[in-house]
Amino acid sequence: MRPSFSIAALLLIAACGKSDEDQLRQAANQSDPAAAQVLNNAAENGMDPQAALQQAGEAAAANNTLGNQH
């Protein structure tokens, strides 16, 4: 998991009182592009925030791995 995504996860947890959609969008704004896409899609589809964070972390890790293969 990239450090920027870890920060986004902490921001999501700290965003108590906001809707799940707002929390996911806030996390997306702090994430790398691959994770942000997952989080924005999750926000649009009403996905569980914890599941969205898991998938976003996996997307960020996969993107980071693919990016380092050049």
pLDDT (0 to 100) of residue 65:
80
pLDDT per residue rounded down to tens, the chain (70 residues): 455 566 566 665 666 678 889 989 988 998 999 999 999 999 999 999 889 999 999 998 898 786 665 5
| CA pair distance 65, 70, nearest whole angstrom | 10
pLDDT (0 to 100) of residue 64:
79
Q: Whole domain around residue 49: which residue ranges?
A: 3-67
pLDDT (0 to 100) of residue 13:
60
Question: Which phi and psi angles does 62 have, rounded to 5°?
Answer: -65, -40
Query: Structurally, how many domains does the chain consist of?
Result: 1
pLDDT (0 to 100) of residue 58:
92
Which residue type occupies 61? A
| Full-model pTM | 0.72
What tokens does 49 get? 């925030």
